[in-house]
Amino acid sequence: MTEDRERLSRERVVEAALTVIDESGVTRCSMRAVASELGVEAMSLYHHVPGGKAEMMDGVVALVQTEFVSALDLTGDWRHDMAMFSRAYRATLSDHPNVVAMIAARPSVAYRSSTALVGPLFSAMEDAGFSRQDALRAVRVVSRWTIGFTMGEASAIENSAAIAEFDEPLLAEVFADIARGEDEVFEFGLEALLDGLEARLGA
């Protein structure tokens, strides 16, 4: 038995699955592909992920979620923390673009993996005067908007030469803006969301 076999664990299996997904995409992530990444037989993985591929994929979602949650240092200021959460989430999802659709398809896993963050965000919003329901919905909306933006960002047109394909001036203008990059658009959308929440608080 090799040292790799002896040290095989659920954590290593999930990390290897994420590596396969990052490099080759979700459809290429099979038990056999992950086993190959680890240098072991596929059947040995089931000792650590007895639920098979479904459990392994849930583990990948949890790993990506906790990757950014654990790095955040919340301040208790709801607007600052919500913005920090959204920006950090986008950065992590951008590092793992092939996982974005998996997170969208596994919301229960994503939320369970984010309780260390979500709880304090709820509390900060309630302390600021938001109702419990509004706090819950605000976190959900910002989270979903960030996921959706990042998913769309992955397919955005980056090559300005594509603008020449459009005869309609308005379309050319839209795609010229897309070609300039998405950072400013992301910040525009995020600030609009937060402004709307702040206006709701003062209503």
Query: Taking 80 as the threshold, does the pLDDT of residue 98 lie above it?
Result: yes
Q: Do 82 and 36 share a structural domain?
A: no
Domain CATH code at residue 34:
1.10.10.60
Helix axes 31-38, 52-69, angle to 10 degrees: 60
Q: Do 119 and 82 share a structural domain?
A: yes
Higher pLDDT, 87 or 115: 87
pLDDT digits (tens, 9 = 90+) for 34-88: 999 999 999 999 999 999 999 999 999 999 999 888 888 899 999 999 999 999 9
Lowest-confidence segment of 38-42, 96-100, 137-141, 174-178 by average pLDDT: 174-178
Q: Do 20 and 106 share a structural domain?
A: no
Q: Establish if 163 belongs to a structural domain.
A: yes
Number of domains the chain contains: 2
The whole domain housing 4 covers: 1-50
Q: Do 143 and 71 share a structural domain?
A: yes
Residue 160's pLDDT is what? 47
Please state the three-class secondary structure of the chain as a single string. CCHHHHCCCHHHHHHHHHHHHHHHCHHHCCHHHHHHHHCCCHHHHHHCCCCHHHHHHHHHHHHHHHHHHCCCCCCCCHHHHHHHHHHHHHHHHHHCHHHHHHHHHCHHHHHHCCHHHHHHHHHHHHHHCCCHHHHHHHHHHHHHHHHHHHHHHCCCCCCHHHHHHCCCHHHHHHHHHHHCCCHHHHHHHHHHHHHHHHHHHHC
pLDDT digits (tens, 9 = 90+) for 179-200: 667 898 999 999 999 999 999 9
Q: Do 112 and 34 share a structural domain?
A: no
Q: Do 44 and 109 share a structural domain?
A: no
Which pTM does this prediction carry?
A: 0.84
Angle at 63 between CA 74 and CA 7, to 5 degrees: 130
Residue 138's pLDDT is what? 94
